Amino acid sequence: MLARLRTESEGGSVLEAAAAAPAPWTTSPSPSLTWLYGPRIRHHRPLSAVPRPRPRPPRVPRLRQAPALGRPRVARQPGEGAGQQGPGLEAAMASVRSSAASKRGQRRSRSEEKLIRQEEERKHLEEEELRLAAEQLEREIVEQKRLEEEERARIAAEDKIRKDNELPELLQILKMNMASVQKLHKNLREATKWQRYMKCDGTPDPTIPQEINTFINLCRENPNTDINALLENGRIILGLLDELQMLLSDTPPDELAEATADQYLHTICNLQDLLSNINDKATDILLQKAIDLVDIETGNMQEVVNDENVTLCLWANFNKNPRFKGYDFVNNHVEFELPRPLAMCDIAVRILHTQYDHISCHIPLFQAQQKAFRNDTILIIEEEQPDNKEPEVEQPDNKEPEVEQTDNKQPEVEQTDNKQPEDIKSKHEIDSKLAIDDDIKRLRPTRTRSALSSSSKDEVLKNKWPSGERSPAHAMANVELLHEYPSEETLDESIVDFNQYTPLGGVYYFDVLKLPPQPKIVNGWRIVQLSETGLQPFSYPLESAKESISSLGTIEERDADNHPVQPVGITIKLPPRALFFEKPTPARWDASGVVWRTDGIHSVTFDAETEQLSFKMDTFNIFTLIQRNYVNMPFQSWDIRPVAENEALLTVHSALVIVEIRIKELCQLCPISVKDNLAHIRGKWMTASSLITCMINAGLNIFPGTESEKYVAKTIKIKQLEHDTYTQMALVASAIAFKWSKWNKNCEQEDIILQACENLTGEAVDEDSWALYLLRPERSQNLNMKESDDEWTRETNEHTEFYSNLYHMMRGHASEAALERILNADHLFFTNVNEMLQATKLLSHTV
């Protein structure tokens, strides 16, 4: 112990002292420890007999901490502070502190090494686990890719097999539907009012139009002098026109010979001409006895004759008051302003309003706009049957030489200077008739109901004076204008473009006529001067003012105060059978150019509350009101849902109005609680084509034209895919409801997205029940997303398969009851739904 203390006092460590001591297993005891442990006696064996033990590492003895010794007192020197110590004590304390610090440093390094080893082992284990997980993930990805490839290969194989079966089945279904519809239409024609135009075997009777022509000739040769009888004849003629037009539009070309169809077209021309003559005859009868109808208060004659189709307002000037400015037919909401130069003339003013329009139908662009929806429907049928399309395409080409031969005859007519005037006139009339025939033949392959009215070429060639006379030169000029109608690029801005506008509410004939000689009472005798000239127009502006008018070319100059001729003013109330969604635009008829024009009309004012439209024209003229075709486009939304078996309700939320159409074997524009200007067509069942025509002519136009992208925003889609989608929607419309999707406008051109849901109750579909479907040319699929989702994904819904078309996909997802409805759908119901969807183009015109 003393040696130990001595060692510590000298600055050494206890561990060093112990290390310096001899090992306890040596044979001789340490002399320094003998006094503590005493002598140790060991019995030794011979070295040869005892095995030598293996050397072991030296074992450091575990030393106990020495008991704390009292701090020795050190005498302080005089003058030393309390904090001052002697040099010996300081050295001892420094030695102790250095020894403890070395011990602590040695222990910290070992623990740190252990921690480092543990951290390295942990990192090694983590790296190994990550490596194993990456290898496992890679194996899973490879396996997943293999399974996906196998699944894609299986789906592709099944899709190919399904396409080979589904597409021919779909085509066969469409052919069966078309054949059934044609048979039903044929039976319907035999059983309805068209029977009087048919033979017993159901084929058209070509002798019937000849009988109608005989009736027309009798009416012209023996005109009736009774106004009511004339109006009744007008109603009969309108009925005949509608029946003939419907007959031509609904009879397939293979059932109606071309010669018979041309004869029907000539009959329609004659009926329209006769109807115009009846209106002129009624006016002439009233004017011949105008002196008997003079109003005592005004001293002039003002008479109104009207029925459901015609309103005739007639005023005759007997008083000749220079201060007279105009007259207001209060009950009929028509007022005109008479120019001052006419106040002292023997004239009569006629305002004839016809609910029908037999003028616009003369314009080829109007024909194209009216029949656009039917061309789209026919296009699908022709594309599905390309073999039957070639003869129809070649027909116009085979007829071109005939038209050229007719045109080549014109120089021969010009060279006949030595012929008599009657021969020249006869030659002109023959050429005119040939031109009419060629033009009718040109329109024959694409006839429709709206196009049939436009086939009235006889009125195109007619100079629209009430006398009905026209010169052959004027007729030939109009034929040339008809054949060489300017294209859209060369159209004047003032010419009404029927791709953008539609005339509404009929036609107004605003004429100034010469007052015929009135009966006189002489010595009790009534003397009447007979005249066979009929109505005679009064020329206005006067000849003296025409030269001044020609010098003023612009509208601004004509509106100036120094205008040489006073304009003609008129105020009318909007027609009761037309729906206007904006301020209507008046347009005047240009007989020389066979067009409607907007120039020559100024000072237009419109009162929306009273629906009164006022404007002024440079002269008396025929005018109508036009409205933009796309005022209700683009659509905001749409849906079509089954109401019952073979009955559906199509709802279109257009820009300004909600349109509901009920579709069955016929179609109906649904009635509404508020009365509007469409009461004459609401609630009436008619064919889809007839309803579309009536809605367009009434101003409720939700049917885009072929050039709609120039006038309204639309979503570009593949045309054939869009058409096929409408057809397949119509096939399942008896059990499946469809609705627009907001994702459709943002996807690609070859994609169509819509919502669909099975609906057999006829009630509104819950929003959560709708499912999204993606339609592509090669396949259709159910998407794994909802309409309310924020992001778009093409992920396919689980437990669903790809289908080649929408029809088979809806059949695959339908229940047994819905499938039975789909398979038993009525052919007329399918045809009407298909035609209505093809006409509205909902998938591309909804934003």
Reduce the secondary structure of 357-419 to three states and give it as a string: CCCHHHCHHHHHHHCHHHHHHHHHHHHHCHHHCHHHHHHHHHHHHHHHHHHHCHHHHHCCCCC
The two tokens of residue 531 are 């005249």
* pLDDT higher than 60, residue 786: yes
Q: For residue range 336-360, what is the model confidence (pLDDT) as tens digits?
A: 999 988 988 999 999 999 999 988 8
More confident: 654 or 75? 654
* pLDDT higher than 90, residue 503: yes
Could you tell me which of 650, 652, 654 has the C-alpha nearest to residue 662?
650
- Of the ranges 81-85, 424-428, 762-766, 781-785, which one carries the lowest mean pLDDT score? 424-428
How far apart, in Å, are the Cα atoms of 274 and each of 214, 279, 281, 287, 573?
12, 9, 10, 20, 28
Phi and psi angles of residue 422, each rounded to the nearest 5 degrees, phi first = -65, -40
Region 472-501: what's the mean pLDDT? 54
Strand partners, 570: 336, 615
More confident: 168 or 159? 168
- Of the ranges 125-139, 252-266, 349-363, which one carries the lowest mean pLDDT score? 252-266
Could you tell me which of 694, 687, 678 has the C-alpha nearest to residue 194?
687
User: Which band of pLDDT confidence, cut at 50, 70 and 90, is reported for residue 435?
Assistant: very low
Q: Give the 3-state DSSP-derived string for 285-332, with helices as H, strands as E and coil as C.
A: HHHHCHHHHECCCCCCEEEEEECCCEEEEEEECCCCCCCCCEEEEHHH
Other CB atoms within a 10 A radius of the CB of residue 264 amount to: 26
* pLDDT higher than 90, residue 188: no
More confident: 251 or 457? 251
Instruction: State the Cα–Cα distance between residues 394 and 801, nearest whole angstrom.
Output: 44
Q: For residue range 609-631, what is the model confidence (pLDDT) as tens digits?
A: 999 999 999 899 999 999 999 99
Q: Render 760-802 in DSSP notation, one character per residue.
A: -S-SPPPGGG-EEEEE-SS-EEEBSS-TT-SS---PBPTT---
806-809's contacts with Cβ under 8 Å and 24+ in sequence apart are 806/725, 806/728, 806/729, 806/732, 806/773, 806/775, 806/780, 807/166, 807/170, 807/173, 807/728, 807/731, 807/732, 808/162, 808/166, 808/169, 808/170, 809/773, 809/780, 809/781, 809/782
More confident: 796 or 47? 796
User: Which band of pLDDT confidence, cut at 50, 70 and 90, is reported for residue 372?
Assistant: low
More confident: 207 or 71? 207
The two tokens of residue 776 are 């592509």
Q: Which amino acid is at 299?
A: G
- Of the ranges 357-366, 559-568, 653-662, 707-716, which one carries the lowest mean pLDDT score? 559-568
pLDDT at 283: 92
User: Which band of pLDDT confidence, cut at 50, 70 and 90, is reported for residue 203?
Assistant: low
Could you tell me which of 641, 840, 664 has the C-alpha nearest to residue 758?
641
Q: For residue range 373-423, what is the model confidence (pLDDT) as tens digits?
A: 444 444 444 444 444 434 333 343 433 343 333 343 343 333 334 444 444
Question: What pairing do the DSSP bridges indicate for beta strands 637-644 and 622-628?
Answer: unpaired
pLDDT at 575: 93
Q: For residue range 798-816, what is the model confidence (pLDDT) as tens digits?
A: 777 788 899 999 998 899 9
Strand partners, 602: 616
pLDDT at 564: 63
More confident: 376 or 247? 247
Region 149-172: what's the mean pLDDT? 77
Could you list the beta-strand ranges (E) of 425-527: 501-514, 520-522, 525-527
More confident: 603 or 260? 603
The two tokens of residue 292 are 């008997």
C-alpha angle 840-841-842 in degrees, rounded to nearest 5: 90
More confident: 98 or 108? 98
pLDDT at 379: 41
Chain-centroid distance of CA 497 in Å reads 20
Instruction: State the Cα–Cα distance between residues 728 and 734, nearest whole angstrom.
Output: 12
Instruction: State the Cα–Cα distance between residues 95 and 91, nearest whole angstrom.
Output: 6
* pLDDT higher than 70, residue 189: no
pLDDT at 758: 94
* pLDDT higher than 50, residue 365: yes
Q: Are 615 and 572 in contact (CB under 8 A)?
A: no
pLDDT > 70 in the chain, percent:
66
Model pTM score: 0.69
CA atoms within 13 A on the CB side of 301: 22
Instruction: State the Cα–Cα distance between residues 421 and 440, nearest whole angstrom.
Output: 29
Q: What is the DSSP letter of 804?
A: S
User: Which band of pLDDT confidence, cut at 50, 70 and 90, is reported for residue 590?
Assistant: very high
More confident: 685 or 74? 685
| 3-class SS of residue 682 | strand
* pLDDT higher than 60, residue 97: yes
Q: Give the 3-state DSSP-derived string for 477-490, with helices as H, strands as E and coil as C.
A: HHHHHHHCCCCHHH
User: Which band of pLDDT confidence, cut at 50, 70 and 90, is reported for residue 692?
Assistant: very high
